[in-house]
Structure 1
Amino acid sequence: MSNNSKKLFLETYGCQMNVADSEVVASIMEHDGFTIIKTREEADVILVNTCSIRENAETRIRGRVQGFSELKKKNPKLLIGVIGCMAERLGEKLFDQEKNVNIIVGPDAYMDLPLLVKKAENGEKAINVELSLTETYKDICPSRIDETSISGFVSITRGCNNFCTYCIVPYTRGRERSRNPESILQEVNDLSEKGYKEVTLLGQNVNSFVFKNSISEVSFPELLEMVAISVPNMRIRFATSHPKDMSDDTLRVIAKNDNICNFIHLPVQSGSDSVLKDMRRKYTQEWYKNRIEAIHKIIPGCGISSDIFCGFHNESEEDFNQTIELMKWAKFDLAYMFKYSERPGTFAYKNLADNVPEDVKQRRLEEMIVLQNQISLENNQGDIGKVFEVLIEGISKRSEQDVYGRTSQNKVIVFPKKEYKIGDLANVIVKTCTKATLVGEAV
Structure 2
Amino acid sequence: MRVYIETYGCALNKGDSYIMMTLLRDKGHEIVDNIQDAEILVINTCAVRLETEERMKQRIKELKKYNDKRLVVAGCLASAEPAVVVSLAPEASVIGPQSVQKIVDVVENSKQRQVYLNEDKPLITPKVFDGKIAILPIADGCAGDCNFCITKLARRKLRSYPPHLIVESVRDAVRKGAVEIELSGQDTAAYGLDLGQIKLSDLVRKVTEVEGDFMIRIGMMTPEQAMRDIDGIIEVLRETKVYKFIHLPVQSGDDNVLKLMNRKYTVDEYKDLVKEIRKKVPIVNITTDIIIGHPGEDENAFRNTLELMRDIKFERIHLAMYSIRPNTRSASMKQVPDPVKKERIQIANKLYEELAYEIHSDYLNSIASVITTEYGRKGSVIGRTLNYIPVVIRQNVELGKRINVRINEASFYDLRGEPIS
Normalising TM by the smaller chain, what interval?
over 0.9
* CA offsets 1:112-134 (integer angstroms, 9 cap, x no match): 23333454x22x331111253xx
Counterparts in 2 of 1:311-390, with a 5 A limit? 311-349=293-331, 351-353=332-334, 355-390=335-370
- The runs of 5 or more residues in structure 2 that have no matched partner are none
Aligned pairs (5 A) from 1:57-76: 57-72=52-67, 75=68
Instruction: Please identify, of 409-418 and 307-316, the stretch whose mean Cα deviation from structure 2 is larger.
Output: 409-418
Contact 1:160 1:169 in 2 (8 A): no
Question: What is the match of residue 144 of structure 1?
Answer: 128
SS of 1:63 mapped into structure 2: helix
- Say which SS state the counterpart of residue 251 (structure 2) adopts: coil
Q: Deviations over 1:390-423 (max 9, x none)?
A: 111344423x3x53311122212123537x4111
The reply to whether residue 404 of structure 1 matches residue 394 of structure 2 is no
Secondary structure of 1:108's aligned partner: helix
* Range 187-196 or range 379-388, more displaced: 379-388
SS in structure 2 of the partner of residue 218 of structure 1: coil
- Determine helix, strand or coil for the equivalent of 2:66: helix
Aligned equivalent of 1:90? 81
CA distance in 2 between counterparts of 1:61 and 1:395 reads: 26
In structure 2, relative to structure 1, the CA distance for the partners of 1:227 and 1:63 (3 Å cut) is same
Runs of 5+ unmatched residues, structure 1: 1-5
Match of residue 434 from structure 1? 411
> CA contact under 8 A between 2:138 and 2:191: conserved in structure 1?
yes
Is the contact made by 2:3 and 2:42 (CA closer than 8 Å) also made in structure 1?
Answer: yes
TM-score, L = length of structure 1: 0.90
Contact 1:275 1:319 in 2 (8 A): yes
The question of whether the paired residues in 2 share the 8 Å contact of 1:239 and 1:265 is answered with yes
- Normalising by structure 2, we get a TM-score of 0.94
SS where residue 198 of structure 2 aligns? strand
Q: Which amino acid in 1 is paired with 2:417?
A: G
Contact preservation (8 Å) 2:93, 2:106:
yes
What is the RMSD of the two structures over their aligned residues, measured on CA atoms? Answer: 1.8
Q: Is the 8 A contact 2:41 2:63 kept in 1?
A: no
User: Is 1:53 the equivalent of 2:48?
Assistant: yes
Is 1:242 matched up with 2:233?
no
- From 384, 392, 399, give the equivalent of 1:414: 392
Letter in 2 for 1:27: T
Distance across 2 between alignment mates of 1:183 and 1:422: 27
Question: What amino acid maps onto 1:142 in structure 2?
Answer: P
* Change in 2 beyond 3 A, CA 1:231/1:165: farther
Is the alpha carbon distance of 1:52 and 1:212 closer, same or farther for their aligned partners in structure 2, counting shifts above 3 Å?
closer
Aligned residue identity for 1:204: Q
Instruction: Return closer, same or farther for 1:93/1:328 CA change in 2, 3 Å cut-off.
Output: closer
Aligned partner letter, 1:97: L
Structure 2 CA distance for aligned equivalents of residues 234 and 179 of structure 1: 21
For 2:344 and 2:211, the matched residues in 1 are separated by 44
**Shift of the alpha carbon at 1:202?**
0.8
Q: Residues of 2 paired with 1:69 and 1:416: CA distance?
A: 41
Q: Counterpart of 1:342 in structure 2: which amino acid? A: I
Q: Distance in 2 between matches of 1:157 and 1:136?
A: 12
Deviation at 1:334, TM superposition (A): 1.1
Separation in 2 of the partners of 1:424 and 1:352? 51
Name the SS for the 1:391 alignment partner. Answer: strand
The offset of 1:11, in angstroms, is 0.4
Deviations 1:299-350 (A, max 9, x none): 011111110011111211000100000000111111111111111011222x
Q: Deviations over 1:348-399 (max 9, x none)?
A: 22x423x21100000110000000000110001011233221111344423x
Query: What displacement does 1:107 show?
Result: 1.4
Following superposition of structure 1 onto structure 2, how do residues 14-413 of structure 1 map, counting pairs within 5 Å?
Answer: 14-72=9-67, 75=68, 78-99=69-90, 101-119=91-109, 121-122=110-111, 124-130=112-118, 132=120, 135=121, 137=123, 140-146=124-130, 149-210=131-192, 217-246=197-226, 247-255=230-238, 257-349=239-331, 351-353=332-334, 355-398=335-378, 400=379, 402-413=380-391
Distance 1:428 1:276 in 2: 41
Aligned equivalents of 2:117, 2:194: Cα separation in 1: 27
Identity %: 27
Please give the alpha-carbon distance, in whole angstroms, between the structure 2 residues aligned to 1:307 and 1:190: 32
Aligned-partner SS, 2:97: coil
| Aligned length, in residue pairs | 417
Give the letter for the 1:113 counterpart: I
Give the distance between the partners of 2:287 and 2:203, measured in 1 at CA.
Answer: 23
**In 2, Cα distance between equivalents of 1:212 and 1:126:** 29
**Alpha-carbon contact 1:92-1:127 (below 8 Å) kept:** no
Stretches (4+) displaced over 6 A: none
> Conserved in 2, the CA contact under 8 Å of 1:248 and 1:294?
no
CA–CA distance in 2 between the matches of 1:33 and 1:432? 48
